[in-house]
Amino acid sequence: MDFLRPRTLDEALAMRAERPDAVPIRGGTDVMVEMNFDRRRPGALLDLAGLAELDTWHRTADTVRLGAGVSYARIMAELADPLPGLAMASRTVGSPQIRNRGTVGGNLGSASPAGDAHPPLLTAGATVEVASTRGTRLVPAADWYLGVKRSALAADELITAVHVPVAAGPQQFAKVGTRNAMVIAVCSLALELAPATGAVRVAIGSAAPTPRRCPDAEAYAGAEFADRRLWTVGSPLPAVLVQRFGELVAAAADPIDDVRSTAAYRRTALAVLARRTLTWAWREFRDGGRRCA
Amino acid sequence: MRVTIEINGTERVLDDVWEGESLLYALRERAGLPGAKNACEQGECGSCTVYLDGRPVCACLVAAGQAAGHAVRTVEGLSTVDGELDRVQRAFLAAGAVQCGFCTPGLIVATHDLLARVPSPDDAQIREALSGNLCRCTGYEKILDAVRLAAGSPA
């Protein structure tokens, strides 16, 4: 096995092209588990930890370009204002030790259906930036996840950043697990209200082969909010609306029975998370917590 | 491969490091520092917690080669060279926060980091800071006592 340590992104891309047998590693919180348990013996590790290009974020008026190597700890500390949903999800990742090393880039690279960053990236309409010696391309998060632990990343590409729109309104994230720390999600859910467009966006994790949006729930809520003039009236959400929204989110799931939970429990829990997060986000909107991009 | 790491303030040259080896293995088996413990090897238990460039991490999830050129501080590096214990180490002894002792080094590093950032943590902050460290003996009450005791002691 070789240990490749590029000093620049260009060098890393050249190595990636030359060594299709190399596994990229940054925080190591996924890759090293596979190494430690003999599940993976790649021809090389390609260490991305030293690449300053991946370690920065930059905010414009409506988007944050988040370098693939920015840790969850930094997202929590530095980006909770423009990206509250992603920051909330980051807070639920592993433990302080894991959040000091783990990155959204790694979450995207692993593409586990349980990755905590995925639902808020989907609701925000984020775009993944990948690079190779052939050039750079942008992949919408909605097109990123192809199957269980399979993504749109080509063999010669590296994830360089994710472009996340600044919150257009209240965002929420909720996750079910056996305890509050150190859990892989039994199921998770991100929700975003966009008052300017009247959109309600919701995505679920650990509930299907890939993280996914819930189009029927979104369409229902969007239409109901408009018909009832809720954005302008600002009245409490009717119970029937909240209930139906939860049912539609649960119906969007395609969960399985596995070591962490059962399909039936996941559907039930997703409906609960959907009702709770919609209620929390609506309360934030009514309380004037509305954010202007 | 050869890996050079600053460990507890001293530059150490480690030879015959396997390319897929963890920092934890290199510390224990090549640098002669068995303080950080190997329990779960998947980041669940926190027994291998060390500082990497001043931030606590699970040494089992860092490739040894990634630490090359960086600074690592282990539980051994918290006491002085002549063996005087850090206040966190003294508090764990005084409070009876140690039973089998396997989780203790990781908890001490995590506590050390917490008190460096938050000098007078409340219980919620303590629980959050130690949420990545599992103890199967104590039930945690004595550990919480130790953290409160250390917080009240001069650094």
The domain that holds A43 is classified in CATH as 3.30.43
Give A92-120 pLDDT, tens digit per residue. 999 999 999 999 999 999 999 999 999 99
Q: Is the confidence at residue B13, as pLDDT, over 70?
A: yes
Evaluate if residue B44 carries a pLDDT over 50: yes
Smallest Cβ distance to A97: which of B63, B128, B132? Answer: B132
How many structural domains are present in chain A? 2
Residue A109 maps to a domain: no
pLDDT over threshold 90, residue A202: yes
CATH of domain B3-74: 3.10.20.30
Mean pLDDT of A141-159: 97
CA distances from A2 to A19, A52, B60 (A): 10, 22, 19
Query: Has residue A200 been placed in a domain?
Result: yes
Q: Which of B5, B51, B58, B61 to mutate to test the interface with A (most CBs of A within 10 A)?
A: B61
Res A160 pLDDT > 60: yes
Q: Residues of chain A whose C-beta is under 8 A from some C-beta in B?
A: 1-3, 5, 25, 27-29, 31-33, 35-37, 41, 44-45, 47, 49, 73, 94-98, 100-101, 180-182
pLDDT range class, residue A293, cuts 50, 70, 90: very low
Contact B58/A98, CB-based, under 8 Å?
A: yes
Query: Alpha-carbon distance A209 to A191, whole Å?
Result: 20
- Has this prediction a pTM greater than 0.90? yes
In a domain, A138, yes or no: no
- Mean pLDDT value across residues B132-154: 94
**CATH number of the domain that residue A259 is part of:** 3.30.390.50
Q: Report if residue A115 sits inside a domain.
A: no
CA distance A145 to A109: 10
pLDDT at position B52 is 98
Sheet holding B55-58, edge to edge: B10-14, B3-7, B71-73, B49-52, B55-58
Helices A263-286 and A239-252 pack at an angle, to 10 degrees, of: 140
Judge whether A88 lies within some domain.
no
Question: Is the per-residue pLDDT at A291 higher than 60?
Answer: no
Whether A95 and B132 lie within 8 Å, measured CB to CB: yes
Residue A42 pLDDT: 97
Bridge-based pairing state of the strands A44-47 and A212-213? unpaired
Q: What is the pLDDT of residues A226-282, one digit of tens each?
A: 999 999 999 999 999 999 999 999 999 999 999 999 999 999 999 999 999 999 999
Q: In whole angstroms, what is the distance from residue A177 CA to residue A227 CA? A: 36
Residue A248, domain member (yes or no): yes
Distance from CA of B64 to the nearest CA of A (A): 10
By CB atoms closer than 10 A (0-12, 13-18, 19+), residue A62 is: exposed
Q: Does A183 or A65 have the greater pLDDT score?
A: A65
Contacts of A98 in chain B (CB under 8 A): 43, 58, 61, 132
When the pLDDT of each residue in chain A is averaged and rounded to a whole number, the result is 96
Domain B87-151 homologous superfamily, CATH: [2Fe-2S]-binding domain (1.10.150.120)
Q: Is B95 on the interface with A (CB under 8 A)?
A: no
Average pLDDT across chain B, whole number: 96
Given a cut of 50, is residue A32 above it in pLDDT?
A: yes
Numbered ranges of CATH 3.10.20.30 in chain B: 3-74
Domain of A270, in residue numbers: 171-286
Closest Cα in chain A to B48: A97
Confidence of residue A290 (pLDDT cuts 50, 70, 90): very low
pLDDT of B155 strictly over 80: no
- Least reliable range by pLDDT among A24-33, A124-133, B79-88: B79-88
* Residue B16 at interface with chain A, using a CB cutoff of 8 Å: no
Query: What ipTM goes with this model?
Result: 0.96
CATH 1.10.150.120, chain B: domain bounds: 87-151
Domain assignment present for A108: no
Domain-located, residue A133? no
Q: Return d(Cα A59, Cα B99) in angstroms, integer.
A: 49
User: What does the pLDDT look like over A214-235, one tens digit per residue?
Assistant: 999 999 999 999 999 999 999 9
Confidence of residue A289 (pLDDT cuts 50, 70, 90): low
Tens digits of residue pLDDT in B75-91: 999 998 888 999 999 99
